Amino acid sequence: MKILLTGPTGFIGSAFIRFALEKGHHIAGLIIPGEAIPARAPRSDRLRWLRGTLEAAPWPEIVEFQAEVCVHTAWITTPGVYLESPENEKFRDASLTFLRKACAAGARHIVGLGTCVEYRMGNEPLCEESTPVEPGTTYARCKNELRLALEAGAREGGYTFSWARVFYPYGPGEHPSRLCSSIIAKLKAGEEVLLRTPGSTKDYIYIDDLASALLAVVGKRFAGTINLGTGGGVSVEQVARQLGGLLGRPDLIRLAADPAPDPFPFVVADIGKLKSLGWQQNVSCEEGLQRLVAAQA
C-alpha cells in the first residue's frame, strides 16, 4: 500500500513509519523544508521524503507518488502549550485544505488522529458510540471540528474516513516534558517527585502498540471513529512508584498533602472496535516503563 504521511518525524509518525515499512508498505513523508531527516529514521527504498508544509505541499510529487491512503498525524503537541494554543485553529484549517487536496490527488482513504479528550469525561471507559462528545479545550475542539468536516466530505463520496482517537502514548522518543520522562529526569537528578494528582487514572499505551494499532486501522481500511488505547487504566501514582523502583529511588516519590483537581481524572478507552480489527496489546505498562528507562540510560 502507498501511504502519504504527515508529521513523519513526530513521536507517533516516526513509530508508524517503522511498523508500516516492516509490513511492506511504501511511505511518502511530508517533512518541513530545512528540517533534518532524523538519524533514527529507517533506511529503505520504500521510504521517500517530500519537502513541504500543509499550506505549501509539493503537489506534483504527491500526485506522482499515487498514495492510496493519507495518514495525518501532524499537529501541535508541545506539553504545557498545545491544549489552548491558537495554533490549533491554524492546524484545523490547514489540515482540512490539505486532506481535501490529497483526495483530489488520488488518496481514497483518509486517517486522522483525534484525541481522547474530545469526549465528555466520566467514571466509565469512553466508548465511540455511547460516550457524548464534549471537547473542553481548544485542542480538542479543533480536532473535533476537523473530524466533523471530514465526515461530511466522506458522506458526499470520493473517500472513506477513519478518525482514530489517541489516548496517552508514552515511550522512547517522547517529549522530555511528558509525565514519564519528566519523572525519570527528576529521579536521575536525585530530585523529589511531588505528585499533585496521584489518583488521576489514564490509559497509557506504549508507542509501539499505538503504531501497530494505527497500522491496523489503515490496513483494514476501517471507516468511522475508533479508540486507540489499551482498555486499562493506570494511576499517576502507580507510574511514579514503578519508575521509582526501576531507578532505585522510591524514596523520592511524594504525594501532595492537598491534591489538585484534575479536569481529566479518569480517561480509559473502550477498545471493542480496535480488538475487532485483530489488534492486541503487546507491551504492558510495566514493560513499557522498563524500556523507556533503558532507552534513557
Cell numbers of 250, please?
522510591
pLDDT in tens, 162-184: 999 999 999 999 999 999 999 99
Beta bridge partners of 180: none
**Cell match 527504498: residue?**
45
Residues present in the chain in total: 297
At 2 the pLDDT is 98
Whether the Cβ atoms of residue 245 and residue 253 lie closer than 8 Å to each other: no
pLDDT in tens, 80-114: 999 999 999 999 999 999 999 999 999 999 999 99
Task: Report residue 21's pLDDT band, with 50, 70 and 90 as the boundaries.
Answer: very high
Angle at 96 between CA 145 and CA 18, to 5 degrees: 100
Could you tell me the pTM of the whole model? 0.97
At 297 the pLDDT is 85
Q: How many CA atoms lie within 13 A of 66 on its CB side?
A: 2
Convert 214-231 to b/e letters by CB count within 10 Å (16 or more is b): bbbbbeeebbebbbbbbb
Question: Percent of the chain scored above 70 by pLDDT?
Answer: 100
Domains and CATH numbers, the chain: 2-169+205-228 (3.40.50.720), 170-202+232-295 (3.90.25.10)
Whether the Cβ atoms of residue 32 and residue 58 lie closer than 8 Å to each other: no
CB count within 10 Å of CB 13 equals 23
Q: How far is the C-alpha of 297 from the C-alpha of 295, rounded, in Å?
A: 6
At 39 the pLDDT is 85
pLDDT in tens, 253-289: 999 999 989 989 999 999 999 999 999 999 999 999 9
pLDDT in tens, 55-80: 999 999 999 999 999 999 999 999 99
Q: Is the pLDDT of residue 158 over 90?
A: no
At 169 the pLDDT is 98
Q: Is the pLDDT of residue 38 over 90?
A: no
Q: Does residue 3 come out as left (phi exceeding 0), alpha (psi in the -120 to 50 range) or beta?
A: beta
Closest by CA to 15, choosing from 73, 80, 83, is 73
